[in-house]
Amino acid sequence: MELCNESIPGLQIEHVDIEPLPFLNTDLEIAGKYPPPVEAFRRKILEADSIFFASPEYNYSLSAPLKNAIDWASRPPNVWADKPAAIVSVSSDSGGKQSQYHLRQIGVFLDLHFINKPELFIVVQQPPKKFDSDGNVIDPQTKEQLKQVLLSLQAFTHRLRHDC
C-alpha cells in the first residue's frame, strides 16, 4: 500500500488490523456499546472516506476474519452505509472472483457502493511472482492494475461526495 500512497496524489491508505476483533457475539454488546477493539474498528470505518477490501478467497467466499469484521461494523448503527468501496482478491486458481461477487452481495445489504470497474483478481499460481515474502506487490503489471483500481475508487469517492 505504500506504493499506492506514494504514486497517487491525494490518496492515503490506512491498513486497519482486524485481528484483534473477537468473534461476533451480540452478548458482548452492552447498553449499545461494543468491546473496545470493536469500537476502535467501527470508528476507523466511520471516519474513512472510502473502503478498500483486500482478501484471499476461501471456499468461494471471503475470509472468515473479514466476514467477522464486516458483521461487527454492520451492527447498529451500520457504519458501512453509503461508503464507496473497491475490492481486490487473491486466489490460487480463479483470483478470487467468487469471493468478490459474494462481497458485492453482502454490500447490497450494508448499503456499500462498489466501483464496477476495473476488477482485479490476482491469481498467485500464475507467473510472474506477484508478492514478496512480506506480502508486498512486486509484479509491475499487478502494481499498475492495483493503481487503476485505486484511481477509480478515488474518482468514484469524489463523485459520490460531490467534490468534483
Q: Where are the domains of the chain?
A: 2-160
Does the reported pTM lie above 0.85? yes
The model's pLDDT over 119-154, given as tens digits with 9 standing for 90+, comes to 888 887 777 888 888 888 888 888 999 999 999 999
The model's pLDDT over 60-97, given as tens digits with 9 standing for 90+, comes to 999 999 999 999 999 999 999 999 999 998 887 777 88
| CATH classification code of 2-160 | 3.40.50.360
Cβ-based burial of 160 (10 A; exposed 0-12, middle 13-18, buried ≥19) = middle
Q: Determine the Cα–Cα distance for residues 115 and 102; give it in Å rounded to an integer.
A: 15
> What pLDDT does 112 receive?
98
